[in-house]
């Protein structure tokens, strides 16, 4: 028998390829949508909110884009992950394959999607006259954290979706709340003190704030911020894995 | 596992749910303990047997006997509720032909995907691909999406993959019922050659006793999830044929060993799974506990800091920063909520807290501060405290004066003082019209003092206090005037 590890990698790469191809199958623009959809949203929001909040804030477009970029990744990744176990049921109920491979491949496909919109983001950063700095490498940190947050929450939702379809209607509501709680288009300093403290419990806001501090103010957040983010990402990932782990044998009976 | 045993089932039971989905009210009932767990159904009960390399097992039984369930459990798509299945090597299961593919992907992509699912490497599938596509006679369709294929084509490609990539165990669930005559013949021949080869263990479900007798060397008879007989094809098939005629099950040993509710038996799998789950749960709890400690870290830090300083030190430090306070407030309150200072100041006035407590609150509010920032915050808190302590004292005073004023209506000057105080904030803001108001008040004071035969310098002092924006001095004179 050939080495199992290499074969697993092959399986994963096949799945990732499949997920990514399927995403834009039968579209004219294909992968361009990864760049176009956040762009359209950005322009709309910039026009609408720029007049309210943009007046006394430098680089408001970038400020907004930081929030939108990460929030879009979060919402798209969790929304599509939610259906993964359900949609692939016809495969894993007939072919023995560990179910979490589908979740992993889906999360990687979404990350690739995110990377494309990240390119557009950096083009905007350059246009806005912000100088690139080696410190921008620090941005990998919130991205990795966000990946694990999305992966964990996606896994959690996907498992739950098998048992409670209600999640399908509940999650968009929660996503909307998270959007408002991430200070995407407003300055959090307009909030009263207690709300601002609550904002810091939102892992997505932490990531957004990290991006803004680095890109707009070119300061690296404190060590404690890093540690909190690691802990938050670990909690999300473990929560997802834990939920999946205790229910994975039952999933085949419910789909 | 013994050297030759390639597949061993030990006391395997599979449980299904009868209803498709449970509603919320069912869950509530379950939680309240009002609904018994009657939603379950044992599709397979206490099945044990083993196969050696090269064996060909035929599985017979009526519809709903658990044949397909057993195949699913062996292939690994279903996990048994209890019991263990030990298997060596790669398994290829043809459960329902043509299923388990991705409808949107092309035939070629599906072949690679299926190969990957079964744990083969890219190189291996590369080397087998032509053979598979030719066997299935699908070369011209290799780039069409899978959903466009006919069901016969789907079956052909599925069988082609299964037979070409030489699995160690192959599971065939009534697969020869589909496909056209030519392909059926071809696939049966292929199957026979695989079996004759002696390397592959095959399990097949069939309703044709004739083909079972011809092809298999072992036969398993299932009935309602129970194992009736396992052994030599002719013996089992004869007994089964008799059962089909008479409708009476033979009383066999294995049937007697079956339990009505297999859950009572030892669940090796579940124990292990629970242990793993417990480990994950503990890890999760540790992280949550860590988070909690971390969230209280700022409080702990400020507490330690506050303990290391005496009250005098803090007050001295506050005094040192006193002079710079306007600038500091301007710089730093952009980050801090001044409300917290006010609350803290009121606490100090009510003697429920010290400056240190306020500072702790400030630290909590502002997140992680350096020692320097801490001092600044402390000083800011103190200034606010001084300001607001005067305000609070004045509040008390005004209340008192008002009561007295109502008791002695003749004291007109008192009402003026009340007026002076209540407009204190406006005076402090040094607005133009306030100055006129204040001058009126001063005039009243002068008149009053002249009448009372007192010296008039008090009025001047009040005026000076007002001019130099010393609100609390102003309030002090208000008190004196009483």
pLDDT digits (tens, 9 = 90+) for A210-222: 999 999 888 888 8
Residues A12-53: tens digit of each pLDDT: 888 998 888 888 887 888 888 888 888 898 888 888 888 777
Distance CA B393, CA B421 (A): 12
Out of B206, B239, B263, pick the residue that ends a domain. B263
| Interface contact flag, A91 B100, Cβ < 8 Å | yes
Whether residue B73 contacts residue B8, with contact meaning beta carbons closer than 8 Å, is answered with: no
* Pick from B76, B78, B277: CB nearest A246: B277
B469: three-class secondary structure by DSSP: coil
| Interface contact flag, A228 B294, Cβ < 8 Å | yes
Residues B391-419: tens digit of each pLDDT: 555 555 555 555 555 554 444 444 455 55
**Residue A144 pLDDT grade (very low, low, confident, very high; cuts 50, 70, 90):** very high
| Interface contact flag, B96 A239, Cβ < 8 Å | no
Percentage above 90 pLDDT, chain B: 1
| Interface contact flag, A96 B101, Cβ < 8 Å | no
| Interface contact flag, A94 B77, Cβ < 8 Å | yes
Average pLDDT, chain A: 87
For residues B419 and B377, membership in a common domain is answered with no
Residue B128 domain flag = no
Residue B120 domain flag = no
Kindly report the nearest CA distance between residue A59 and chain B, in angstroms: 20
Q: Provide the 10 A C-beta neighbour count for residue A29.
A: 11
For residues B257 and B334, membership in a common domain is answered with no
The answer for A 102-161 residues in CB contact with B (under 8 A) is none
| Interface contact flag, B368 A224, Cβ < 8 Å | yes
Whether residue B172 contacts residue B91, with contact meaning beta carbons closer than 8 Å, is answered with: no
Out of B360, B389, B418, pick the residue that ends a domain. B389
B442 versus B482: the higher-pLDDT residue is B442
For residues B322 and B242, membership in a common domain is answered with no
Instruction: Tell me which residue of B437, B415, B414 sits closest to B425, measured CA to CA.
Output: B437
Whether residue A234 contacts residue A148, with contact meaning beta carbons closer than 8 Å, is answered with: yes
Residue B155 domain flag = no
Residue B381 domain flag = yes
Distance CA B48, CA B254 (A): 9
Residue B245 domain flag = yes
For residues B305 and B378, membership in a common domain is answered with yes
Question: Which residues make Cβ contacts (< 8 Å) with residue B88, sequence separation at least 6?
Answer: B1, B6, B7, B168
Widest distance between CA atoms in chain B:
136
B340 → chain A, closest CA residue: A193
Instruction: Tell me which residue of B227, B234, B219, B231 sits closest to B253, measured CA to CA.
Output: B227
For residues B51 and B192, membership in a common domain is answered with yes
Sorted by where each begins, the domain ranges of chain A are 4-254
Instruction: Tell me which residue of B13, B158, B8 sits closest to B81, measured CA to CA.
Output: B13
B chain contacts of residue A234, beta-carbon cutoff 8 Å:
287
A197 → chain B, closest CA residue: B365
The arithmetic mean of pLDDT across residues B363-372, rounded, is: 49
| Interface contact flag, A10 B121, Cβ < 8 Å | yes
The segment with the largest mean pLDDT, out of A228-242, B437-451, B452-466, is A228-242
For residues B365 and B436, membership in a common domain is answered with no
For residues B12 and B83, membership in a common domain is answered with yes
Hey, what are A19's tokens? 């997920």
Across-strand partners of B17? B40
B112 → chain A, closest CA residue: A14
Q: Does residue A22 belong to the interface with chain B, where contact is any CB pair within 8 Å?
A: yes
Distance CA A86, CA B345 (A): 58
Residue pointed to by tokens 């589908």: A102
Residues B5-52: tens digit of each pLDDT: 888 888 888 887 766 555 666 666 665 655 555 667 788 888 888 888
What strands, in cross-sheet order, belong to the sheet with B5-17? B40-52, B5-17, B82-87
A246 → chain B, closest CA residue: B277
The answer for A 32-71 residues in CB contact with B (under 8 A) is none
The arithmetic mean of pLDDT across residues B321-330, rounded, is: 42
Whether residue B279 contacts residue B67, with contact meaning beta carbons closer than 8 Å, is answered with: no
Residue B162 domain flag = no
The enclosing H or E element of B231 equals strand B226-231
The enclosing H or E element of A94 equals none
B293 → chain A, closest CA residue: A228
Distance CA A189, CA A203 (A): 18
Q: Does residue A189 belong to the interface with chain B, where contact is any CB pair within 8 Å?
A: yes
The segment with the largest mean pLDDT, out of A21-35, A229-243, B81-95, is A229-243
For residues B366 and B419, membership in a common domain is answered with no
For residues B373 and B458, membership in a common domain is answered with no
A chain contacts of residue B100, beta-carbon cutoff 8 Å:
90-91, 93-95
Question: Which residues make Cβ contacts (< 8 Å) with residue B186, sequence separation at least 6?
Answer: B135
What is the pLDDT, as a whole number, of residue B428? 44
**Residue B178 pLDDT grade (very low, low, confident, very high; cuts 50, 70, 90):** low
B chain contacts of residue A249, beta-carbon cutoff 8 Å:
79, 273
B2: three-class secondary structure by DSSP: coil
B290 → chain A, closest CA residue: A231
Domain residues for B201?
5-89+168-263
What is the pLDDT, as a whole number, of residue A29? 84
For residues B310 and B425, membership in a common domain is answered with no
**Residue A8 pLDDT grade (very low, low, confident, very high; cuts 50, 70, 90):** confident
| Interface contact flag, A252 B79, Cβ < 8 Å | yes
- The ipTM is 0.82
| Interface contact flag, B121 A189, Cβ < 8 Å | no
Q: Does residue A239 belong to the interface with chain B, where contact is any CB pair within 8 Å?
A: yes
Residue B36 domain flag = yes
For residues B251 and B377, membership in a common domain is answered with no
Number of domains in chain B: 3
Kindly report the nearest CA distance between residue B453 and chain A, in angstroms: 54
Residue B413 domain flag = yes
For residues B62 and B172, membership in a common domain is answered with yes
């Amino acid at each position: 028998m050939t080495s199992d590890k290499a074969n697993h990698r092959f399986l994963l790469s096949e799945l990732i390829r499949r997920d990514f191809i399927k995403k834009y199958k039968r579209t004219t623009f294909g992968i361009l949508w990864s760049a176009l959809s956040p762009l359209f949203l950005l322009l709309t929001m910039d026009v609408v909110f720029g007049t309210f909040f943009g007046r006394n804030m430098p680089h408001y477009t970038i400020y907004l884009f930081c929030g939108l970029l990460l929030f879009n990744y979060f919402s798209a990744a969790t929304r599509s992950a939610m259906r993964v176990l359900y949609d692939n049921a016809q495969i894993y109920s007939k072919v023995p394959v560990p179910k979490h491979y589908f979740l992993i491949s889906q999360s990687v496909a979404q990350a690739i999607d995110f990377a494309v919109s990240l390119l557009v983001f950096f083009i905007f950063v350059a246009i806005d006259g912000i100088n690139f700095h080696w410190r921008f490498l620090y941005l990998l940190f919130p991205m990795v954290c966000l990946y694990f947050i999305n992966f964990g929450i996606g896994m959690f939702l996907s498992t739950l979706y098998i048992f409670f379809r209600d999640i399908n209607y509940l999650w968009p509501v929660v996503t909307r709340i998270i959007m408002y709680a991430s200070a995407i288009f407003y300055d959090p300093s307009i909030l009263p003190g207690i709300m601002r403290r609550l904002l810091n419990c939102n892992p997505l806001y932490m990531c957004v704030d990290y991006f803004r501090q680095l890109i707009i103010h070119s300061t690296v957040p404190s060590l404690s911020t890093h540690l909190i983010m690691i802990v938050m990402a670990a909690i999300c990932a473990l929560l997802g894995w834990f939920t999946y782990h205790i229910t994975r044998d039952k999933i085949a009976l419910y789909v | 596992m013994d050297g030759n045993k390639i597949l061993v089932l030990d006391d395997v039971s599979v449980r299904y749910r009868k209803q498709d989905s449970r509603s919320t009210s069912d869950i509530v009932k379950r939680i309240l303990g009002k609904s018994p767990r009657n939603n379950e159904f044992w599709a397979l009960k206490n099945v044990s047997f083993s196969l050696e390399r090269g064996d060909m097992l035929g599985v017979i039984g009526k519809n709903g006997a658990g044949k397909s369930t057993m195949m699913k459990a062996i292939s690994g798509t279903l996990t048994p509720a209890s019991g263990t299945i030990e298997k060596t090597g790669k398994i290829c299961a043809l459960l329902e032909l043509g299923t388990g593919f991705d409808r949107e992907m092309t035939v070629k992509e599906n072949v690679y995907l299926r190969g990957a699912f079964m744990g083969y490497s890219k190189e291996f599938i590369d080397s087998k691909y032509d053979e598979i596509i030719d066997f299935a006679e699908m070369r011209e369709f290799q780039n069409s999406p899978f959903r466009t294929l006919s069901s016969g084509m789907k079956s052909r490609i599925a069988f082609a993959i299964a037979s070409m990539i030489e699995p160690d165990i192959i599971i065939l669930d009534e697969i020869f019922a589909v496909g056209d005559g030519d392909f059926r013949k071809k696939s049966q021949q292929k199957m026979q050659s695989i079996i004759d080869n002696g390397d592959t263990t095959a399990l097949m479900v069939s309703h044709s006793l004739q083909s079972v007798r011809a092809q298999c060397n072992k036969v398993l008879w299932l009935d309602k999830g129970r194992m009736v007989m396992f052994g030599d094809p002719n013996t089992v098939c004869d007994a089964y044929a008799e059962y089909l005629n008479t409708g009476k099950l033979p009383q066999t040993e294995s049937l007697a060993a079956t339990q009505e509710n297999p859950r009572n038996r030892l669940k090796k799998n579940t124990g292990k799974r629970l242990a793993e789950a417990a480990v994950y749960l503990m890890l999760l709890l540790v992280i949550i506990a860590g988070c909690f400690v971390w969230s209280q870290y700022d409080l702990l830090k400020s507490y330690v800091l506050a303990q290391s300083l005496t009250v005098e030190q803090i007050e001295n430090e506050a005094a040192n920063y006193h002079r710079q306070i306007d600038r500091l407030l301007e710089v730093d309150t952009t980050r801090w909520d001044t409300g917290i200072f006010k609350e803290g100041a009121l606490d100090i006035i009510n003697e429920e807290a010290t400056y240190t407590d306020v500072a702790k609150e400030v630290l909590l509010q502002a997140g992680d501060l350096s020692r320097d920032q801490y001092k600044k915050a402390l000083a800011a808190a103190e200034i606010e405290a001084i300001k607001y302590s005067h305000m609070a004292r004045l509040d008390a005073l005004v209340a008192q004066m008002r009561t007295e004023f109502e008791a002695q209506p003749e004291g007109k000057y008192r009402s003026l003082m009340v007026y002076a105080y209540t407009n204190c904030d406006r005076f402090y803001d040094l607005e133009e019209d306030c100055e006129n108001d204040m001058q009126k008040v001063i005039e009243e004071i002068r008149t009053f003092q002249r009448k009372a035969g007192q010296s008039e310098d008090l009025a001047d002092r009040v005026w000076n206090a007002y001019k130099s924006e010393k609100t609390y001095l102003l309030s002090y004179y208000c008190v004196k005037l009483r």
